[in-house]
A and B are shown apart, each in its own frame.
Chain A
Amino acid sequence: MQLDEFFVTGEPLIYAGMVAIVLVTSAIIFLLTYFKKWTWLWREWLTTVDHKKIGIMYILSALAMLFRGGADALMMRTQLAFPDMNFLNAQHYNEIFTTHGTVMIIFMAMPFLIGLMNIVVPQQIGARDFAFPFVNALSFWAFFFGAMLFNISFVIGGSPDAGWTSYTPLAGAAMSPGPGQNFYLMGLQLSGIGTLATGVNLMVTILKMRAPGMTLFKMPIFTWSSLITMFIIVFAFPILTVALALLTIDRIFGSQFFTLTGEGLPMMWANLFWMWGHPEVYIVILPAFGIFSEIIATFARKQLFGYSVMVWSIILIAGLSFLVWVHHFFTMGAGAFVNSVFSVSTMAIAIPTGVKIFNWLATLYKSKIQITVPMMWSLAFIPSFVIGGVTGVMLGMAAADYQFHNSYFLIAHFHYVLIAGTVFASFAGLIFWYPKMFGHRMNERIGKIAFWFFVIGFHVCFFPQYFLGLDGMPRRVFHIVPEWFNLNVISTVGAFGMGIGFAVFVYNIYYSYRYSERETTGDPWNARTLEWATPIPVPEYNFAVVPHVDSLDAFWAMKERGESPYDESKVEPIHMPNNTSQPFIMMGIFTLASFFLVFEWIWLALAGLIGGIVMMIIRSFDYDEGYHISSEEIIETERSARGL
């Protein structure tokens, strides 16, 4: 392979991307060296098994991916606002809508939520870490390296360009030769395996490590939504694993699953993809529901209305999520009966979702609402999500879907549910739990500016797209006819509004780091659940004394009784796992192997695979049993953190 085939050439925007990558990387290397932070980075972060630090790394990576996916979005919007400017050509546009979708779903939405779960769930259930801290680190590095592998594709080898759904036969070897689609397959495979491991890990954590007295129906609602999400992950992600593996084998080893030759069935890809893909939608929305429930209950100063109904509706949504996948391709022509069945099951999801909406409203009803930034995001979510949900039911009607299918109506619908649901929740959750991560709150005033820019920008961007869809504008086109010009320009203005909102949000992180008042108590919002019972900064062991739970909103009950969650007489030595470099190295080696496989350098890939297996053998012989923190040390830490 020639060097000019290895690197992508001839595209000014991509040259700019290369320069940016080189500059940012050199800046990071320079700063780390200048401030002598390499050992700090290695000891405190790259080798950590602490769920709180891993959560922070997840969220930082997700923010970086939100930036990348957002940059893609703004490039697309620029092209569509000025279609005659030839800002992007057809090929480049294809690549960008593909990476935008993939990055946002796989490398932004999921890691953001999993990051929040990492930080919050163990603290909500009174646990000291995950069930398997080592596996947790492994999951993170699988996701992180998978994301890097996918992201590097636009400068090395070329981006995938068959859409985030990667439909065959377009994505097969015959029509998409070269490394592009392989990057998609291997990047998703790596991070998917990480997600599956998190699914097992967090499920066991929630099932087995709850504080004494916390029965399932006394769990905080965010923990409930995480638990159900983990069930979906465990049963949905293996389907993705298989689908990706089959397409990889098709492309690299010449099998005939999705090909047009050898009696392959290209349509089967759509089925397998969406049998994972639809549950995936609920993997990114159920935790969001959990976050909003926590925030609304906290700032409405009331117990969540209809807690057990909320739980059962999550369970029902999770069950239904596996029974609706065909609605993504009603037009494939499965026949009236099949379409009708999936149409009904799709619309049925609106029932438990509607129940949840009414429960949030009922929680707010006659309450004294405290308007904080996380609460603003939550309040903005409810009406916005309802618009997305109602148009979802419209799309769910199979007969009508023949009109809406693959139009901007669909684009507007899923951005209304995924942004108003998942992205609002990620921002709200990050701001809400920010003090638990960094010891200070985010600035309220700047937070509100970011909120208004983003929310107004969001509606200006996506509301017109419903009408563009009804006017017949199809998705995934880089050039449009004049009658769609006006609404597209409006939409682009909104997109840049969201961009400004995000920039202000990120600036707020810096501003708050510099100027925000440091928190002195562990409970800055006067909140209800156990994660607020730990002091700030949260010690590595979370709880010096594991609390006893006897009601919902355990911490609230404690405060009402005037109890402190900390009792010095009950402190005992705590067992902790040691940091380890193995997850980082193991996943690094597997990523290298995947990179070789992307370019179909089979022998190198095999060598990498063997290297990864050697790492697993080393792990098997590793009998490191961790260490104990002494009672004196705990008492000292708690005294200084609690100001006793």
Chain B
Amino acid sequence: MSTEESNAKPLEYQTEQGEMSIIGFWVFLAAEIALFGTLFATYAVLFGRTADAPAPAELFEPGTVLIMTFILLTSSFTCGIAIHEMRRGSVKGVMTWLIITLALGLSFISLEIYEFIHYAHEGATLQSSAFWSAFFVLAGTHGVHVSLGIGWAILLLIQTAQRGITPITSRKIFIFGLYWHFLDVVWIFIFTGVYLIGMVL
């Protein structure tokens, strides 16, 4: 490969290690699909097994969850802009848009915690029945992923502030972007497969 061609690649792909890290992360995301797939399957199998606890249709409401969905989808968009700014080489742009992404992520998590507490008050907890165990673990695993993502991005913000946009920091931010978009996709399945179906069935 000539130097010109390799220069045409984005910064994060320019080193061999960067390219391998990104491919490795895609493989890891494949494993994550298997992980969430198992959780979704478990949820589907246990659907309706509510025992004495309330049925999902009694608790699920479009309001908060819809807001959460819009927040998370928007954060995916802002994350995309952050990557775009990174490609343009603007440290300030990356940081600004990453911080906006994080703020949206944090509000998503806060709303999710609020939702969970609300369900618990209504008598649906992790312990109440097989269905609610499956629900809390599925949605909770997604929530833990989002929280870890927030912590991770804070570390990347500090590193970007210290070092600017280098092949290494750009690779890290790009991989974080992949992760963040992936969580968005998972949430779309939770929103439709869990909440929307739960409201009508």
A: residues with CB less than 8 A from B are 131-132, 196, 199-201, 203-204, 207-209, 234-239, 241-243, 245-246, 249-250, 253-257, 259, 261-265, 268, 272, 275, 613, 617, 620-621, 623
Contact = CB atoms under 8 A, between A and B. Distances in A.
A253 B126 contact: yes
B137 A263 contact: no
B103 interface: no
Interface stretch (B39-47, B55-63, B94-102, B179-187): B39-47
Interface stretch (B27-35, B65-73, B114-122): B27-35
B126 A249 contact: yes
A268 B45 contact: yes
B155 A246 contact: no
B185 to A, nearest CB: 16
A272 B38 contact: yes
Interface string B8-35: 0000000010011101100110111011
Q: Which 10 A-B pairs have the closest CB atoms?
A: A255-B133, A263-B49, A238-B35, A238-B34, A242-B38, A254-B127, A264-B130, A262-B129, A204-B24, A256-B130
20 contacts: A131-B20, A200-B27, A203-B27, A208-B19, A234-B34, A236-B34, A238-B31, A238-B37, A239-B34, A239-B38, A241-B35, A242-B35, A249-B126, A257-B134, A257-B137, A261-B51, A264-B133, A265-B46, A268-B45, A272-B38
Given A201-B24, A203-B27, A204-B24, A262 B34 contact: no
Interface of B: 16, 19-21, 23-24, 27-28, 30-32, 34-35, 37-39, 42, 45-46, 49-51, 126-134, 136-137, 151-152, 155, 159, 163, 168
B51 A234 contact: no
A619 to B, nearest CB: 10
Contacts of A242: 35, 38-39, 42
B129 A263 contact: yes
B129 A238 contact: no
Main secondary structure of the interface of A (DSSP, over half): helix
A621 B32 CA distance: 25
B42 A257 contact: yes
Given A204-B20, A238-B32, 6 more contacts: A208-B23, A255-B126, A255-B127, A256-B51, A263-B49, A617-B155
Contact of A620 (B24, B136, B155): B155
A201 B27 CA distance: 9
Contacts of B19: 208
A262 B126 contact: no
A288 B34 CA distance: 25
Main secondary structure of the interface of B (DSSP, over half): helix
A265 B155 contact: no
Contacts of B32: 238
A263 B30 contact: no
A132 B50 CA distance: 45
Nearest to B25: A200
B159 A234 contact: no
A207 B51 contact: no
Nearest to A276: B38
A246 B133 CA distance: 9
A131 B24 contact: yes
A131 B15 CA distance: 13
A256 B35 contact: no
Contact of B137 (A201, A204, A236, A246): A246
A235 B126 contact: no
B32 to A, nearest CB: 7
Contacts of A261: 51
A621 B130 contact: no
B89 to A, nearest CB: 20
A239 B36 CA distance: 9
Contacts of A131: 20, 24
A262 B35 contact: no
A179 B20 CA distance: 41
Contacts of A268: 42, 45-46
A198 B168 CA distance: 22
B53 to A, nearest CB: 8
B144 to A, nearest CB: 11
